[in-house]
A and B are shown apart, each in its own frame.
Chain A
Amino acid sequence: MSWINLTALWKIIVFGLIAGAGLPALFAGGLYTLSWGPRTARTAGADGGADSDVVVGGNVAGMVLAAIAFLVVLAAIGWSIYEIYTLGHPATTTAKK
C-alpha cells in the first residue's frame, strides 16, 4: 500500500492540463479566428473602435475555423462526460475492478 498513487497523479496533471487549459485555449483560438475580417478591425470607424465588443469579424474562413474549434470543444466535453459515466457505473461495465 503506497501513500500516493503516482500513476493517478501524473494522469490528473497531464489530462488536467489538456482538458483544463487546452480546451479553453482552443475556444480562445476559435474566438481569434472568428475575429478575422473587416468588422473588428481596430482602426475601423463605426463599430470597430477599441472598446467595441463585436466578436464576429466577417471573414468566412475565420468563421468556419471557429465553428470547428467550438464543435471540437463541445465534443470533447460530451465525450468526457460519457467516459465518466461509464467508468462510474461499474455494474454496467464489467471491466472495472
Chain B
Amino acid sequence: MSNDTVLVLVVITALAFDFTNGFHDTGNAMATSIATGALPPRIAVAISGVLNFVGAFLSLTVAATIASGLVSTGKVTLTVVAAGLAGGIIWNLVTWLFGIPSSSSHALIGGVIGSTFAAAGGSAVLWHGLVSKVVLPAVLSPIIAALVAACGTWLLYRITRSLTDGARKHGFRIGQIGSACVVSLAHGTNDAQKTMGVITLALIVNGTVAKGSGAPVWVITCCALAIATGTYLGGWRVIRTLGKGLVEIESPQGMAAESASAAVILLSSTFGYSLSTTHVATGSIIGTGLGKKGADVRWSVAGRMATAWVFTLPSAAIVGAIAYGIAYGIGGTFGVIIDLIILAALSGFIFWRSRATKVDHNNVNAEWAGGVAPPAEVPEKAAA
C-alpha cells in the first residue's frame, strides 16, 4: 500500500518537473520571435503552450529511450526516481534564476542517474546508452543546428537582398510566426516525452505496467498539460538571455534559427535521441550570428551557457544522489515525503529570490546590458 503512496508522490514530482521543463524552455521556441517583435510576448507564450500540448501527443519514441535505455530498470526503486526528479527540478530552477538556458533533459537524466548511482552503484547505470544517446548528441546537436542556421541565414539574406529593409523585416516576421510554432510543437514532442518516460519508468518499477511497455494515455495527457502550463507561464529570464543576450536578432535570422531548431529537433526525435532542445536552440541562434556579415555573437554569454551545460549532468546527478541519501537515511515513504518537503521549500526560496530581479513580459526585450535583469531595475547586477 505504501508503495502506491510513493508512486503517487513520484508522479506528482514528475509533473512538477515537466512544469519547470515547460517554463524553462519557452524561450527555445519563442525567444527570437519575442526579440524581433514578430509576436507580442504574452501571445507568443500562449501559442507556444497550446502547441506544446499538441506536440506531446505527436511521437513516443524518446519516452521509450528514457524508460529503458539509460538505467537498468531492475535496480531502480520509486525512491530513486523521486530523488532523481528532485535533482532535475532543483537544477532547472537554479539555472532559471540566473537566466541560463541549460538543458532540462540533462537535468532530468542527470538527476535520475545520480540517484540510481547512489542507490545501486555504477553497474546500474547503462553508461553506453548514456554516452551514445545523451552525451554525444548533446555535443553534436548544437553544432549541426548552428550549421543549418548559418546556411539558412546566409540564404535568406542573399535571396531577399533586393528587398527594402522594411519589406524584409515585415515578410520574415510572418514567416517567423510559422517557424516558431513548429519549434513549439517540436518541443512538446521531444520534451514532454522525457517526463512520460520517467513516469513510465516508475510504473514499470512499481509493477503497475509490464516491463517494456509504452506510456499509458493518462500519463501522456498529464504530461502534455503540465508542460503546456509551464510554457504558458513563460520563463522570461531565459527568454531574455536567448533573445537579447546572445546575438541581436533580426527577423530573417529569427526565422532561420527557428527553422533550423525545428528541423534538427524533429529529425533527432524521430531517431529516438533525447537531445536537448535548449542546446539546439542555442546552437541555432549562434549560427544565425555566424551566417550574417556584421552580426556579433556575444561569446562571453555563449561561454557561460556552455559551462552550465557541462555542469548540468553532474550537478543534477549530485543533487539526485544527495536526495536519495536523505530519503534512504530516513527510510520508507516518510523519507520520500521529507525529500519532497525539502524540494518544495528550496523551490519556494528560489522563486522568492527571483522576485528581487524580476523579468517578465514587460521588460523581457529591454536593452542587453550584460546581465539577465534589465539595468533600470537592478543597477548593481548590471556588471555581473
Contacts and interface: CB of A to CB of B under 8 A. Distances in A.
Is B a genuine binding partner of A? yes
Nearest to B256: A24
Contacts of A85: 58-59
A49 B271 CA distance: 49
Nearest to A19: B263
B358 interface: no
Interface residues of B, number: 54
Interface string B150-185: 011001100110111111111110010011001001
A27 to B, nearest CB: 5
B132 A31 contact: no
Nearest to A57: B167
Nearest to A50: B164
Given A16-B144, A20-B149, A52 B155 contact: no
B109 interface: no
Interface in B206-226: 214
A77 B152 CA distance: 16
A25 B132 contact: no
A31 B163 contact: yes
A7 B150 CA distance: 23
Contact of B165 (A3, A32, A50): A50
B267 interface: yes
B169 A53 contact: yes
Given A15-B267, A84-B270, A88-B60, A21 B148 contact: yes
Given A9-B140, A16-B264, A53-B170, A24 B152 contact: yes
A23 B136 CA distance: 27
A2 B132 contact: yes
B171 A55 contact: yes
Tell me whether chain A's interface is mostly helix, strand or loop, or mixed: helix
Interface in B104-136: 128, 131-132, 136
A64 interface: no
B260 interface: yes
Interface string B264-276: 1011111101000
B93 interface: no
Interface residues of A, number: 47
A55 B263 contact: no
A21 B171 contact: no
B268 to A, nearest CB: 6
B58 A81 contact: yes
Given A31-B168, A53-B167, A84 B59 contact: yes
Contacts of B165: 50-51
B92 interface: no
Contact of B155 (A2, A28, A49, A89): A28
Given A20-B149, A21-B148, A31-B171, A53 B259 contact: no
A4 interface: yes
Interface in A19-47: 19-21, 23-25, 27-29, 31-32, 34-35, 40, 42
A66 to B, nearest CB: 10
A23 B214 CA distance: 33
B156 A25 contact: yes
A59 interface: no
CB-based closest 5 A-B pairs: A88-B59, A20-B263, A53-B166, A21-B152, A19-B263
Interface of A: 1-5, 8-9, 11-13, 15-17, 19-21, 23-25, 27-29, 31-32, 34-35, 40, 42, 49-55, 73, 77, 80-81, 83-85, 87-91
